[in-house]
Amino acid sequence: MSEAMAALSRGLVVLSSVLVLLSLFPLSLSSPKKVSSAARREDIPYIKCQVCEKVAHQIYHQVSKKEAQISPKKVSEFEIIEIAENVCNLKKEEADWVLQIDIVEKGDTLQLVEQGIEGMCNSECKTIERACQEVVDYADTDIAEFVFKTRPTADLLVKFLCHDLSKACLAEPPPVPKDRTPGEPFVAKPSGEAEMGRMLRAMEGIPGAPSMKMYSREDVLKNNFGDEELDDDDDEDDEDNFPAKLGKTLKNKDSPKKDFKQSVLKGITETGKKMKTHFNKASQRIRKWWRGKKSASKSPKKGKSEL
């Protein structure tokens, strides 16, 4: 089982490196001006009620989805607490919905407009996350208890969360000032980057995930990848040295841009194949371990019935 976890950990580290690669192309080739990603707290009063309604709908739909996956079993209160805890945390997959929303100024109001696709997370994304956290606050257990005991409709959950519990929708939002600085435009993420981000968020909390890191362009150029302790198996040297090799590629400014892009894309392709092999091996070991554990747990029951 430890070998499986080690293989999975290696795969996750390499996966995070590949994700960095995808985000490096715009930085290394065009160097756009960095957009502020701090939450605009002054915008929260104008969107808090709308955010609360979306949170309630998200919790309702995510609980329903979870229940459909484990049917005929029921979702436990603990699982509902987990959803309520994570629905406002952009590092968790339960908060993926936040990435698909654009804040649009309409007259003297701010409207949350769903785009149906993930966008780059800048100040608007962080503002929605912050408003969501203010709505849920420390009431995740209260929300979970209400959902678990009453199994409410989406509308009933909206009423409980936004009117009774958080009171986010008791009053109309104030008018937006005319001199408000407009937010940044919604920019869709490249499909590959969006998918990689979802994979990383889904892996959050599983064995090996704590070793995942997001490296900046400076880290890559300086070969600053921490001191992850990985196994030194011969067939895994290429994956372990992948970030360092990438740094050398980026620092080689004498090569044409075309060769640079081709070499990096080749590295992504080769590393992806090897990463897939690692995950397959880890998955097989885990399944084998789990089958052994299940058979061991069934043995005493069999002996008892024979008595």
Domain for residue 302, yes or no?
A: no
What mean pLDDT comes out for the span 228-233? 43
Same domain assignment for residues 151 and 211: no
Same domain assignment for residues 25 and 69: no
Same domain assignment for residues 207 and 157: no
pLDDT at 307 over 80: no
Same domain assignment for residues 66 and 134: yes
What mean pLDDT comes out for the span 164-168? 96
Domain for residue 178, yes or no?
A: no
Which are the contacts of 136, defined by CB distance < 8 A and separation ≥ 6? 55, 84, 87, 88, 143, 166
pLDDT at 285 over 70: no
DSSP assignment of the chain, as one string? Answer: -HHHHHHHHHHHHHHHHHHHHHHHHHHHHT-PPPPP-S--GGGHHHHHHHHHHHHHHHHHHHHHHHHHHHTTSPPPHHHHHHHHHHTT-TTSGGGGGGGGEEEEEETTEEEEEE-SS-B--SHHHHHHHHHHHHHHTT-HHHHHHHHHHH---HHHHHHIIIIIIS-TTSSPPPPPPTTPPPPPPP-BPPHHHHHHHHHHHHHTTSTTGGG--PPPHHHHHTT--TT------GGGHHHHTHHHHHHHHHH-TTS-HHHHHHHHHHHHHHHHHHHHHHHHHHHHHHHHHHHHHHHHHHHHHHHHHH-
Give the model's pLDDT for residue 249: 53
Give the model's pLDDT for residue 26: 46
**Of residues 88 and 227, more confidently modeled:** 88
In this structure, are residues 157 and 135 in contact, taking their beta carbons and an 8 Å threshold?
Answer: no
Report the chain's mean pLDDT, rounded to a whole number: 75
Domain for residue 301, yes or no?
A: no
pLDDT at 31 over 90: no
pTM attached to this predicted model: 0.60
Give the model's pLDDT for residue 193: 77
Domain for residue 183, yes or no?
A: no
Same domain assignment for residues 194 and 248: yes
pLDDT at 37 over 60: yes
What mean pLDDT comes out for the span 86-115? 96
Range of the domain at 196: 2-32+190-293
pLDDT at 210 over 90: no
Give the model's pLDDT for residue 192: 79
Domain for residue 177, yes or no?
A: no
Domain for residue 180, yes or no?
A: no
Total domains in the chain come to 2
Same domain assignment for residues 66 and 107: yes
Same domain assignment for residues 52 and 141: yes
Domain for residue 175, yes or no?
A: no
Pick from 114-128, 190-204, 249-263, 276-290: least confident: 249-263
Q: Among 102, 131, 165, which residue terminates a domain?
A: 165
Give the model's pLDDT for residue 30: 39
Same domain assignment for residues 12 and 45: no
Give the model's pLDDT for residue 242: 52
Domain for residue 271, yes or no?
A: yes
